[in-house]
């Protein structure tokens, strides 16, 4: 659900530049001033519109985005079934969040950085482990997504080669 349009790109940069670990072309974002809006979603929205910058090969092993065997982005909805295919570090981080959320205050609430991709979907730029953790829990949550509406170009985010 769209909450607000025209979030200042500088706000997105201030909040997410220190924490986004996927390669993101900050210079183009700042120079071209791509629009950012604020979206909110909860359990009723499901997870099928959200993609992770994580990839699994046909053999079921996690691989890099540029591996020739990489399937397209993992849907967040695929995490429960794909969890064992992910790297040990991803599994451990997801499990830490899952445990924290399981015993914490409900509804779970946090913000993530996302990037609009074709098919009315979003690539998660920051918050992947937190989003994966809530995808395997049966609990209420409200997530705010700071959504960048930039070009679908692998110069922006190399992972967009899969968009």
- Confidence (pLDDT) at 48: 85
Q: Determine what percent of the chain is predicted with pLDDT higher than 70.
A: 99
DSSP 24: -
Q: Report phi then psi at 36, rounded to 5.
A: -130, 135
Looking at the chain, the whole-number percentage of residues with pLDDT higher than 90 is 61
Higher-pLDDT residue of 4 and 144 is: 144
The answer, yes or no, to whether residue 64 has pLDDT greater than 90, is no
Q: Which range, of 34-38, 74-78, 105-109, 133-137, averages the lowest pLDDT?
A: 74-78
Q: Name the region of 33 (left: φ>0; alpha: ψ -120 to 50; beta: rest).
A: left
Q: How confident is the model at residue 47 (pLDDT cuts 50, 70, 90)?
A: confident
SS3 category, 139 = coil
Tell me which residue of 152, 150, 162, 153 sits closest to 66, measured CA to CA: 162
Mean pLDDT of 71-84: 85
In whole angstroms, what is the distance from residue 6 CA to residue 98 CA? 33
Is pLDDT of 160 > 70?
A: yes
88 pLDDT band, cuts 50/70/90, is very high
Whether the pLDDT of residue 2 is over 70: the answer is: no
Distance (Å, rounded) from C-alpha 27 to C-alpha 54? Answer: 24
pLDDT of 158 strictly over 90: no
What is the overall mean pLDDT for the chain? Answer: 90
């Amino acid at each position: 659900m769209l909450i607000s349009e025209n979030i200042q790109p500088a706000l997105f940069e201030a909040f997410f530049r220190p924490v986004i670990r996927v390669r993101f072309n900050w210079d183009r974002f700042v120079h071209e001033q791509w629009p950012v809006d604020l979206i909110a979603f909860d359990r009723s929205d499901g997870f099928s519109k959200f993609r992770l910058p994580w990839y699994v090969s046909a053999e079921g092993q996690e691989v890099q985005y540029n591996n020739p065997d990489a399937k397209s982005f993992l849907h967040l909805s695929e995490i429960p079934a794909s969890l064992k295919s992910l790297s040990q570090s991803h599994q451990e981080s997801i499990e830490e969040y899952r445990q924290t959320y399981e015993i914490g205050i409900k509804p779970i609430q946090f913000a993530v950085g996302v990037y609009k991709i074709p098919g009315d979907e979003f690539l998660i730029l920051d918050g992947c482990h937190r989003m994966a953790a809530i995808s395997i829990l049966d609990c209420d949550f409200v997530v705010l997504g700071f959504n960048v509406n930039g070009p679908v170009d692998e110069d922006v985010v190399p992972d967009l080669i899969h968009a």
